[in-house]
Amino acid sequence: MVILGRQGSGKGTQSEMLVERFGCVHVSTGDMLRAAVAAGTELGLKARAVMEAGDLVSDDIMNGIVAERLAEQDIAGNGVLLDGFPRTADQADALQAILDGLGQKLTVAVNLEVPVAEVTARMMARGRSDDTEDAISRRLELYDEQTAPLLEWFAAHDLLVEVDGLGTEDEVFDRLSTAVRTRL
Protein backbone atom coordinates (compact mmCIF):
# COMPACT_ATOMS: atom_id res chain seq x y z
CA MET A 1 0.00 0.00 0.00
CA VAL A 2 0.98 3.60 -0.47
CA ILE A 3 -0.30 6.50 1.62
CA LEU A 4 -0.24 9.93 0.02
CA GLY A 5 -1.14 13.31 1.39
CA ARG A 6 0.25 16.77 1.98
CA GLN A 7 2.77 17.34 4.71
CA GLY A 8 0.82 17.76 7.93
CA SER A 9 -2.13 15.73 6.64
CA GLY A 10 -1.78 13.22 9.48
CA LYS A 11 -0.12 10.61 7.30
CA GLY A 12 2.36 9.57 9.99
CA THR A 13 -0.26 9.02 12.69
CA GLN A 14 -2.65 7.24 10.37
CA SER A 15 0.16 5.08 9.00
CA GLU A 16 0.97 3.82 12.51
CA MET A 17 -2.69 2.87 12.99
CA LEU A 18 -2.93 1.21 9.56
CA VAL A 19 0.12 -1.03 10.02
CA GLU A 20 -1.19 -2.11 13.39
CA ARG A 21 -4.58 -2.99 11.89
CA PHE A 22 -3.32 -4.72 8.73
CA GLY A 23 -0.08 -6.22 10.05
CA CYS A 24 2.20 -4.81 7.36
CA VAL A 25 5.56 -3.08 7.77
CA HIS A 26 5.65 0.73 7.98
CA VAL A 27 8.32 2.21 5.73
CA SER A 28 8.51 5.98 6.22
CA THR A 29 11.26 7.60 4.17
CA GLY A 30 11.09 10.70 6.41
CA ASP A 31 11.68 8.52 9.50
CA MET A 32 14.53 6.69 7.76
CA LEU A 33 16.19 9.99 6.83
CA ARG A 34 15.72 11.45 10.32
CA ALA A 35 17.28 8.31 11.82
CA ALA A 36 20.24 8.68 9.45
CA VAL A 37 20.65 12.34 10.44
CA ALA A 38 20.50 11.44 14.15
CA ALA A 39 23.05 8.65 13.67
CA GLY A 40 25.37 10.93 11.70
CA THR A 41 25.77 8.47 8.81
CA GLU A 42 27.01 9.55 5.39
CA LEU A 43 23.42 9.61 4.16
CA GLY A 44 22.40 11.67 7.19
CA LEU A 45 25.10 14.23 6.53
CA LYS A 46 23.94 14.60 2.93
CA ALA A 47 20.24 14.73 3.79
CA ARG A 48 20.35 17.14 6.70
CA ALA A 49 20.69 20.47 4.90
CA VAL A 50 18.28 19.39 2.18
CA MET A 51 15.61 18.50 4.73
CA GLU A 52 16.09 21.68 6.75
CA ALA A 53 15.50 23.72 3.61
CA GLY A 54 12.33 21.74 2.89
CA ASP A 55 13.80 20.47 -0.38
CA LEU A 56 13.68 16.90 -1.65
CA VAL A 57 16.54 14.46 -1.27
CA SER A 58 17.64 13.31 -4.75
CA ASP A 59 15.69 10.58 -6.51
CA ASP A 60 18.84 8.46 -6.91
CA ILE A 61 19.44 8.38 -3.18
CA MET A 62 15.79 7.77 -2.30
CA ASN A 63 15.29 5.04 -4.91
CA GLY A 64 18.38 3.24 -3.62
CA ILE A 65 17.28 3.41 0.03
CA VAL A 66 13.79 2.13 -0.77
CA ALA A 67 15.03 -0.64 -3.09
CA GLU A 68 17.27 -1.93 -0.30
CA ARG A 69 14.56 -1.74 2.33
CA LEU A 70 11.87 -3.43 0.22
CA ALA A 71 14.18 -6.37 -0.49
CA GLU A 72 14.30 -7.25 3.22
CA GLN A 73 12.63 -10.41 4.42
CA ASP A 74 10.02 -8.89 6.78
CA ILE A 75 8.34 -7.19 3.84
CA ALA A 76 8.09 -10.29 1.67
CA GLY A 77 6.18 -11.94 4.52
CA ASN A 78 3.94 -9.12 5.70
CA GLY A 79 3.55 -6.54 2.96
CA VAL A 80 4.38 -2.88 3.32
CA LEU A 81 2.83 0.53 3.81
CA LEU A 82 4.96 3.14 2.03
CA ASP A 83 4.74 6.57 3.65
CA GLY A 84 6.59 9.48 1.98
CA PHE A 85 7.53 7.53 -1.13
CA PRO A 86 7.04 7.89 -4.06
CA ARG A 87 7.13 11.68 -4.10
CA THR A 88 8.14 12.30 -7.72
CA ALA A 89 7.36 10.72 -11.09
CA ASP A 90 10.88 9.29 -11.19
CA GLN A 91 10.31 7.63 -7.80
CA ALA A 92 6.98 6.17 -8.98
CA ASP A 93 8.73 4.60 -11.98
CA ALA A 94 11.48 3.28 -9.73
CA LEU A 95 8.90 1.80 -7.35
CA GLN A 96 7.23 0.01 -10.20
CA ALA A 97 10.59 -1.46 -11.28
CA ILE A 98 11.52 -2.45 -7.72
CA LEU A 99 8.20 -4.23 -7.20
CA ASP A 100 8.39 -5.95 -10.59
CA GLY A 101 11.85 -7.22 -9.63
CA LEU A 102 10.47 -8.62 -6.37
CA GLY A 103 7.42 -10.14 -8.05
CA GLN A 104 5.14 -7.90 -5.96
CA LYS A 105 2.28 -5.55 -6.86
CA LEU A 106 0.65 -2.50 -5.33
CA THR A 107 -2.80 -3.09 -3.85
CA VAL A 108 -3.99 0.44 -3.15
CA ALA A 109 -2.85 4.06 -2.84
CA VAL A 110 -4.86 6.12 -0.37
CA ASN A 111 -4.72 9.89 -0.58
CA LEU A 112 -5.46 11.72 2.64
CA GLU A 113 -7.06 14.97 1.50
CA VAL A 114 -6.57 17.97 3.83
CA PRO A 115 -6.67 21.59 2.59
CA VAL A 116 -3.49 23.73 2.55
CA ALA A 117 -4.72 26.18 5.21
CA GLU A 118 -5.37 23.35 7.66
CA VAL A 119 -2.04 21.54 7.12
CA THR A 120 -0.11 24.81 7.47
CA ALA A 121 -1.75 25.48 10.84
CA ARG A 122 -1.04 21.91 11.99
CA MET A 123 2.63 22.07 11.01
CA MET A 124 3.17 25.43 12.70
CA ALA A 125 1.69 23.91 15.85
CA ARG A 126 3.77 20.68 15.91
CA GLY A 127 7.14 22.49 15.94
CA ARG A 128 9.40 19.83 14.40
CA SER A 129 12.89 21.29 13.73
CA ASP A 130 12.28 21.41 9.97
CA ASP A 131 8.88 23.10 10.46
CA THR A 132 9.99 26.70 9.92
CA GLU A 133 7.62 28.91 7.96
CA ASP A 134 9.93 28.98 4.91
CA ALA A 135 10.50 25.23 4.89
CA ILE A 136 6.77 24.58 5.26
CA SER A 137 5.83 26.72 2.29
CA ARG A 138 8.69 25.21 0.26
CA ARG A 139 7.50 21.67 1.04
CA LEU A 140 3.90 22.49 0.15
CA GLU A 141 5.03 24.09 -3.11
CA LEU A 142 7.04 20.98 -4.04
CA TYR A 143 4.08 18.82 -3.11
CA ASP A 144 1.82 20.62 -5.56
CA GLU A 145 4.50 20.62 -8.26
CA GLN A 146 5.86 17.09 -7.99
CA THR A 147 3.75 14.89 -5.76
CA ALA A 148 0.20 15.93 -6.63
CA PRO A 149 0.69 14.83 -10.29
CA LEU A 150 1.38 11.34 -8.95
CA LEU A 151 -2.27 11.13 -7.98
CA GLU A 152 -3.04 10.92 -11.68
CA TRP A 153 -0.49 8.14 -12.10
CA PHE A 154 -2.11 6.09 -9.35
CA ALA A 155 -5.59 6.85 -10.69
CA ALA A 156 -4.55 5.73 -14.18
CA HIS A 157 -3.36 2.44 -12.68
CA ASP A 158 -6.71 2.12 -10.93
CA LEU A 159 -5.05 2.17 -7.49
CA LEU A 160 -6.19 5.51 -6.08
CA VAL A 161 -8.73 5.97 -3.29
CA GLU A 162 -9.39 9.51 -2.00
CA VAL A 163 -10.09 9.84 1.72
CA ASP A 164 -11.27 12.96 3.54
CA GLY A 165 -8.59 13.74 6.15
CA LEU A 166 -10.64 16.21 8.22
CA GLY A 167 -12.15 15.08 11.52
CA THR A 168 -10.85 13.20 14.55
CA GLU A 169 -8.05 10.64 14.25
CA ASP A 170 -10.56 7.82 14.72
CA GLU A 171 -12.99 9.18 12.13
CA VAL A 172 -10.22 9.48 9.57
CA PHE A 173 -8.92 6.01 10.47
CA ASP A 174 -12.36 4.47 9.96
CA ARG A 175 -12.52 5.97 6.48
CA LEU A 176 -9.00 4.83 5.64
CA SER A 177 -9.32 1.29 6.91
CA THR A 178 -12.63 0.86 5.09
CA ALA A 179 -10.99 2.09 1.87
CA VAL A 180 -8.11 -0.35 2.30
CA ARG A 181 -10.33 -3.29 3.25
CA THR A 182 -12.42 -2.95 0.10
CA ARG A 183 -9.21 -3.35 -1.95
CA LEU A 184 -7.69 -6.33 -0.17
Q: Does 30 bind ligand ADP (CB under 6 A)?
A: yes
* Options 6, 34, 69, 87, the catalytic residue: 87
Q: CB 50 → ligand ADP: shortest distance, Å?
A: 5
Q: Which residue lies nearest ligand ADP, judged by its C-beta? A: 30
Q: CB 64 → ligand ADP: shortest distance, Å?
A: 11
**DSSP labels for 7-29?**
TTSSHHHHHHHHHHHH-PEEEEH
Give catalytic status of residue 6 as yes or no.
no
* Options 34, 48, 69, 139, the catalytic residue: 139
Q: Does 57 bind ligand ADP (CB under 6 A)?
A: yes
Judged by CB under 6 A, the chain residues 137 through 176 that form the site for ligand ADP are 139
- 11 Cβ contact list (under 8 Å, min separation 6): 3, 4, 5, 83, 84, 112
Interface size with ligand ADP, residues (CB under 6 A): 16
Give catalytic status of residue 21 as yes or no.
no
Q: Does 85 bind ligand ADP (CB under 6 A)?
A: yes
Give catalytic status of residue 11 as yes or no.
yes
Q: Does 54 bind ligand ADP (CB under 6 A)?
A: yes
Residues 48, 61 contacting (CB under 8 angstroms): no
Give catalytic status of residue 183 as yes or no.
no
Give catalytic status of residue 139 as yes or no.
yes
Q: CB 6 → ligand ADP: shortest distance, Å?
A: 8
* Options 21, 128, 181, 183, the catalytic residue: 128
Query: For residues 2 and 15, what is the distance between their CA atoms, to the nearest angstrom?
Result: 10
- 75 Cβ contact list (under 8 Å, min separation 6): 25, 27, 69
Query: For residues 25 and 120, what is the distance between their CA atoms, to the nearest angstrom?
Result: 28
Residue with smaller CB distance to ligand ADP, 29 or 108: 29
Through-space distance between the first and last CA atoms of the chain, rounded to whole angstroms: 10
For strands 2-5 and 80-83, give the pairing: parallel
- 53 Cβ contact list (under 8 Å, min separation 6): 135, 138
Q: What is the binding site for ligand ADP (CB under 6 A)?
A: 7, 29-30, 33, 50-51, 54-57, 62, 84-85, 87, 91, 139
